[in-house]
Structure 1
Amino acid sequence: MSFDSTIRYRRDIDGLRAVAVLAVVFFHAFPVWEPGGFIGVDIFFVISGFLISGIIFRDLEAGSFSYADFYARRIKRIFPALAVVLAACCITGWFWMQPEEYKKLGRDVISGGAFFSNLALWKETGYFDAAAETKPLLHLWSLGVEEQFYLVWPILLGLMWRRLNFLTVSLTIAVASFALNVATVNTHPGAAFYSPLSRFWELMAGSILAYLQMYHPKKRVGSENWRSSAGAGLVLAGIVLLDRTSTFPGWAAVLPVLGAFLLLSAPESWLNRAVLGNAGIRSIGLISYPLYLWHWPIFYAVSNHDLWAGAGAYGARWIALAVAYCLSAMTYLLVEKPIRFGKLKEQATIFSTAAITALILLGMSIVWTDGFSYRSRGEIAQLSQLAGKYPATEWRDHTCFLDPQQDDTRFTADCAASGHRPALFLWGDSYAAALYPGLLALQARNNFGVSQYTASACPPLMNVDFSDRPFCAEINRGILQRIAHAKPQTVLLGANWAYGQTSKNYNVNHLQDTVAALKAIGVARIVVVGPMPQWEKPMPSMLMQCASMQKMIGTNEFSRCGLVKGIEDLDRSMEKRVKSLGVWYASAYTALCNKAGCLTVINGTSVSSYDVGHLTPDASRYAVQKMATLILAH
Structure 2
Amino acid sequence: MSTTAELASVPVRGKPAQNQGRPDRFRADIQGLRAIAVSLVLLYHLWPNRLTGGFIGVDVFFVISGFLITSHLVGSVPTRGADLVRFWAKRIRRLLPAALLVLAATLIGSRLFAPETQWDNTAREVMAATVYGENWRLAQTSVDYLASENAASPVQHFWSLSVEEQFYLFWPILILLLAGLARRRGLPTLKVVLAGLVVVVGGSLAYSIQATSTEPASAYFVTPTRMWELGAGALLAVMTRLAAARLGRDAERERAGGRWTLLAWLGLAAVALTAVTYTGATPFPGWQALLPVLGTVAVIGAAAAPAGLSPTRLLRLRPVQWMGDISYSVYLWHWPLIALLPAVSGGHLGRLDKFAILVASLVLGTLSKRYVEDAFRFGRRVPGIRRTYVLAAVAMSVVLVLAGLQVVEIQHRQQQARAELEQALSGDNPCFGAAAWSSKVTCQPVPYSDILPSPADAAKDKSDAYSDNCWVYPPFRTTKSCIFGDKNGQVSIALLGNSHAGHWLPALQEIAKQKHWKITTFLASECTPSTTPVQWDTDAKQAGCLKWAKSVQRQIIKGHFDLVVASNRNGHPAVGLTNKKSQSAWQAGYRDYLSTLDRAGVHVSVIHDNPFPGKPIPDCLAENPDQMHTCDGRPDRWVPRDPMVAAAEELHSSRLSTVDLTRYFCDEQSCPAVIGGVIVYFDGSHITKTYSRTLAPYLLGPLTAAVAKSR
TM-score interval, smaller chain: 0.7 to 0.9
- For 1:594 and 1:14, locate their aligned partners in 2 and report how far apart those are by CA, in whole Å: 61
Letter of the aligned partner of 2:260 in structure 1? E
Displacement of 1:176 = 1.1
The answer as to 2:611 corresponding to 1:571 is no
- For 2:610 and 2:322, locate their aligned partners in 1 and report how far apart those are by CA, in whole Å: 48
- For 2:489 and 2:116, locate their aligned partners in 1 and report how far apart those are by CA, in whole Å: 47
Q: 2:399 aligns with which of 356, 359, 372?
A: 359
The answer as to 2:202 corresponding to 1:175 is yes
- For 1:273 and 1:396, locate their aligned partners in 2 and report how far apart those are by CA, in whole Å: 56
Task: Say which SS state the counterpart of residue 426 (structure 1) adopts.
Answer: strand
Contact 1:425 1:491 in 2 (8 A): yes
What's 2:172 paired with? 154
Contact 2:129 2:155 in 1 (8 A): yes
- For 1:354 and 1:504, locate their aligned partners in 2 and report how far apart those are by CA, in whole Å: 56
Q: 1:28 aligns with which of 39, 45, 48?
A: 45
- For 1:475 and 1:443, locate their aligned partners in 2 and report how far apart those are by CA, in whole Å: 29
Displacement of 1:54 = 0.8
Displacement of 1:400 = 4.4
The 5-angstrom pairing of residues 44-63 of structure 1 reads 44-60=61-77
Displacement of 1:225 = 3.1
Contact 2:343 2:623 in 1 (8 A): no
Q: 2:155 aligns with which of 123, 137, 143?
A: 137
Task: Say which SS state the counterpart of residue 582 (structure 2) adopts.
Answer: helix
Letter of the aligned partner of 2:624 in structure 1? C
Q: Give the aligned length.
A: 612
Contact 1:18 1:285 in 2 (8 A): yes
The 5-angstrom pairing of residues 325-340 of structure 1 reads 325-340=362-377
What's 1:240 paired with? 276
Q: 1:475 aligns with which of 539, 545, 552?
A: 545
Contact 1:99 1:372 in 2 (8 A): no
Give aligned-pair identity as a percent. 25
Q: 1:193-228, CA deviations, whole angstroms, 9 ceiling, x for partnerless residues?
A: 332222211111111111111111359999223322
What's 1:85 paired with? 102
- For 1:528 and 1:274, locate their aligned partners in 2 and report how far apart those are by CA, in whole Å: 67
What's 2:432 paired with? none
The answer as to 2:686 corresponding to 1:617 is no
Instruction: Report which stretch shifted further, 272-281 or 46-55.
Output: 272-281
| 1:432/1:485 CA distance change after superposition, 3 Å | closer
| 1:339/1:318 CA distance change after superposition, 3 Å | same
The answer as to 2:409 corresponding to 1:369 is yes
The 5-angstrom pairing of residues 379-418 of structure 1 reads 380=449, 387-388=457-458, 390=460, 394-395=464-465, 400-404=470-474, 407-412=476-481
- For 1:577 and 1:248, locate their aligned partners in 2 and report how far apart those are by CA, in whole Å: 34
What's 2:260 paired with? 224
Displacement of 1:20 = 1.4
Q: 1:494 aligns with which of 561, 564, 568?
A: 568
Contact 2:617 2:673 in 1 (8 A): no
Displacement of 1:399 = 6.2
Instruction: Identify unmatched segments of 5+ residues in structure 2.
Output: 1-14, 183-191, 418-446, 599-603, 651-656
Task: Say which SS state the counterpart of residue 522 (structure 2) adopts.
Answer: strand
Displacement of 1:147 = 0.7
What's 2:590 paired with? 518
Letter of the aligned partner of 1:242 in structure 2? Y
Contact 1:56 1:65 in 2 (8 A): no
| 1:242/1:398 CA distance change after superposition, 3 Å | farther
Q: 1:314 aligns with which of 347, 351, 354?
A: 351
Task: Say which SS state the counterpart of residue 476 (structure 1) adopts.
Answer: helix
Contact 1:459 1:506 in 2 (8 A): no
Contact 2:154 2:335 in 1 (8 A): yes
**TM-score, normalised via structure 2 length:** 0.74
What's 1:12 paired with? 29
- For 2:316 and 2:636, locate their aligned partners in 1 and report how far apart those are by CA, in whole Å: 51
Two-structure CA RMSD over aligned residues (Å): 4.4
What's 2:6 paired with? none
| 1:412/1:491 CA distance change after superposition, 3 Å | closer
Letter of the aligned partner of 1:438 in structure 2? A
Contact 2:197 2:235 in 1 (8 A): yes
Q: 1:288-335, CA deviations, whole angstroms, 9 ceiling, x for partnerless residues?
A: 1111111111111123467554xx723322222222222212212332
Task: Say which SS state the counterpart of residue 330 (structure 1) adopts.
Answer: helix
Q: 1:145-193, CA deviations, whole angstroms, 9 ceiling, x for partnerless residues?
A: 1111111111221222263311110000111112222222243445423
Q: 1:42-68, CA deviations, whole angstroms, 9 ceiling, x for partnerless residues?
A: 211111111111112212299998223
Q: 2:297 aligns with which of 248, 253, 261?
A: 261
Contact 2:36 2:57 in 1 (8 A): yes
Contact 2:139 2:218 in 1 (8 A): yes
Task: Say which SS state the counterpart of residue 527 (structure 2) adopts.
Answer: coil
Letter of the aligned partner of 1:336 in structure 2? E
Letter of the aligned partner of 1:3 in structure 2? A
Displacement of 1:9 = 1.2
- For 1:62 and 1:325, locate their aligned partners in 2 and report how far apart those are by CA, in whole Å: 40
| 1:476/1:268 CA distance change after superposition, 3 Å | same
Contact 2:496 2:566 in 1 (8 A): yes
Q: 1:576-630, CA deviations, whole angstroms, 9 ceiling, x for partnerless residues?
A: 99869976997777642458965555665x6433344432222223457667899
Letter of the aligned partner of 1:295 in structure 2? H
Task: Say which SS state the counterpart of residue 610 (structure 1) adopts.
Answer: coil
| 1:419/1:626 CA distance change after superposition, 3 Å | closer
Instruction: Report which stretch shifted further, 288-297 or 67-76.
Output: 67-76
Instruction: Report which stretch shifted further, 289-298 or 192-201.
Output: 192-201
| 1:403/1:216 CA distance change after superposition, 3 Å | same
The 5-angstrom pairing of residues 429-440 of structure 1 reads 430-440=499-509
Displacement of 1:390 = 4.1
- For 1:95 and 1:337, locate their aligned partners in 2 and report how far apart those are by CA, in whole Å: 29
Letter of the aligned partner of 2:29 in structure 1? D
The answer as to 2:423 corresponding to 1:345 is no
Q: 1:563-588, CA deviations, whole angstroms, 9 ceiling, x for partnerless residues?
A: 5x7x7554357469986997699777
Letter of the aligned partner of 2:165 in structure 1? E
Contact 1:224 1:267 in 2 (8 A): yes
What's 2:438 paired with? none
- For 1:22 and 1:569, locate their aligned partners in 2 and report how far apart those are by CA, in whole Å: 42
Contact 1:530 1:585 in 2 (8 A): no
Contact 2:617 2:683 in 1 (8 A): yes
| 1:560/1:8 CA distance change after superposition, 3 Å | farther
| 1:482/1:116 CA distance change after superposition, 3 Å | closer
Displacement of 1:84 = 1.9
Task: Say which SS state the counterpart of residue 523 (structure 2) adopts.
Answer: strand
| 1:616/1:354 CA distance change after superposition, 3 Å | same
The answer as to 2:601 corresponding to 1:546 is no
Contact 1:530 1:571 in 2 (8 A): no
Q: 1:357-403, CA deviations, whole angstroms, 9 ceiling, x for partnerless residues?
A: 322222222223338969x9997598686713646762266764223
| 1:570/1:599 CA distance change after superposition, 3 Å | closer
Task: Say which SS state the counterpart of residue 77 (structure 2) adopts.
Answer: helix
What's 1:556 paired with? none
| 1:14/1:484 CA distance change after superposition, 3 Å | same
